[in-house]
Amino acid sequence: MTSEPVSPDPIVVVTAVVHAYGGKPALRGVDLRLHPGEIYALLGPNGAGKTTLIRAICGRIRPDGGTVLLKGRDPARVPAARAGLGLVPQEIALYPNLTVAENIETFAALADVPRAGLAAAVRRALELTRTVDRAHVPVKHLSGGYKRRANIAAAIVHEPSLLILDEPTVGVDLDAREAVDSVIRGLRDLGVAVLMTTHDLDQAGALADRVGFLRDGQLVLEGRPRALIAEAFGERMEIQVRLAEEIDAAGESRLAAEGLERTGRPTVWTRLDADGYAAAGRLDKRLRQAGLTPREIRVREPSLANLFTLVADRKLAA
């Protein structure tokens, strides 16, 4: 049962943030708020400004204009404001020869966790990330998924109220990814505000309470995934055609003539249609007549990936 919660005070308030590197704008006026107990996924193509925004929120850069406040304090000017923040960088940042528990202890010391509470803090971090069974294994012997979770454990040992993860599932296989997602959900449910960047739109759609699309340094679309999808696509369904093999240029123009667009995979093409199943049947027939053999045609509700394509191609929120 989820009723619409009354938003508590935001932990992060980003207002009109502008930043440029050597005169080249990377952020052009970004507003963003993040509340306790929500997962926010920052999406956008390479170079959109995601990492720059994260650096500004962490106080690692001082933006050229606008303000960043963490619980009311500017992290670039007030170092204590950063104490409430945990950062999980994209690259695993652990000592490979130390065990998971030793790594967490090391990070706890860096974060000024009092010695008296150290053992309990390490235990809690191990439990929350479900790494207890690997506590005494050197990090270099861990699988990718355990390494990622150990990295999260190191970032949360000081009980931050804001957790930032940059691409938490890069290089993590599907099963392990679900374990990472479930750890992130668990932290959210404890009231932690989670800000993550990801290229994995399926993950964002499944995990995030809100998503924001960053394009050329501007947040061009923001909201709850379901609501954004419904608003953008209405009744339209996605028709996805998977071909038996890669096709030549003539085949490609035939598919384009049917309104199909290529996806990231050369044998998978896609199109939106309000007349989903009936249109898929007609399409199947015509493609076969043209000598193209669909291996599979799927009709499904549009996803965040479809929405992302519209935004990236400037067909939405221009």
Measured from the CB atom, the residue of 53 and 156 that comes closer to Mg ion is 53
- Residue 5 beta carbon to Mg ion: minimum distance, rounded to whole angstroms: 30
**To 10 degrees, what angle do helices 304-312 and 225-233 make?**
60
- Choose among Mg ion, ligand ADP, none what residue 26 binds, the Cβ cut-off being 5 to 8 Å by kind: ligand ADP
What tokens were used for 178?
A: 């679900």
Which stretch, 44-52, 73-81, 185-193, 307-315, contacts Mg ion (CB under 5 A)?
44-52
Among 46, 114, 235, 318, binds ligand ADP (CB under 6 A): 46
Among 10, 44, 63, 75, binds ligand ADP (CB under 6 A): 44
By CB under 6 A, tell whether 50 contacts ligand ADP: yes
* Size of site (CB under 6 A) for ligand ADP: 10
Buried b (16+ CB within 10 A) or exposed e, 286-304: ebeeeebebeebebeebbb
Q: Which is nearer to ligand ADP, 57 or 183 (CB)?
A: 57
Work out how close the CB of 314 gets to ligand ADP at its nearest, in angstroms, rounded to a whole number: 17
CB atoms within 10 A of CB 189: 9
Using CB under 6 A as the binding rule, whether residue 51 contacts ligand ADP is answered as: yes
Token code pair at residue 90: 């994209």
Residue 43 and residue 299: Cα distance in Å, rounded?
25
Out of 20, 25, 45, 51, name the contact with Mg ion by CB under 5 A: 51
Residue range at the interface with Mg ion (CB under 5 A); choices 10-18, 43-51, 229-237, 266-274:
43-51
Residue 277 interacts, among ligand ADP, Mg ion, none and using kind-specific CB cut-offs from 5 to 8 Å, with none
* Greatest alpha-carbon span in the chain: 75
**Separation CA 287–CA 302 (nearest Å):** 22
Among the listed ranges 42-50, 105-113, 146-154, 241-249, the one in contact with ligand ADP (CB under 6 A) is: 42-50
Closer CB to ligand ADP, 31 or 102, in the complex: 31
- Beta strand 193-197 with 39-43 is parallel
What's the distance, Cα to Cα, between the start and end of the chain in Å?
36
Binding of ligand ADP at residue 62 (CB under 6 A)?
Answer: no
Closest separation between CB of residue 50 and ligand ADP, Å? 3
Q: Does 271 bind ligand ADP (CB under 6 A)?
A: no
**Closest Cα partner for 85 from 113, 59, 63?**
59
Among residues 26 and 183, whose Cβ is nearest to ligand ADP?
26
Place of tokens 């932990």: 11
Other residues' Cβ atoms within 10 Å of the Cβ of residue 5: 9
Closest CB to ligand ADP among residues 50, 188: 50
Kindly state the smallest distance separating residue 215's Cβ from Mg ion, in Å.
Answer: 14
One-letter amino acid for residue 187 of the chain: L
Residue 199 beta carbon to Mg ion: minimum distance, rounded to whole angstroms: 10
Q: Are 152 and 127 in contact (CB under 8 A)?
A: no
The Cα–Cα gap between 84 and 99 comes to 25
Q: Which of 14, 34, 37, 49 binds ligand ADP (CB under 6 A)?
A: 49
Q: What is the dihedral of CA 240, 167, 215, 69, to 10 degrees?
A: 140
Residues of this chain that bind Mg ion (CB under 5 A): 50-51
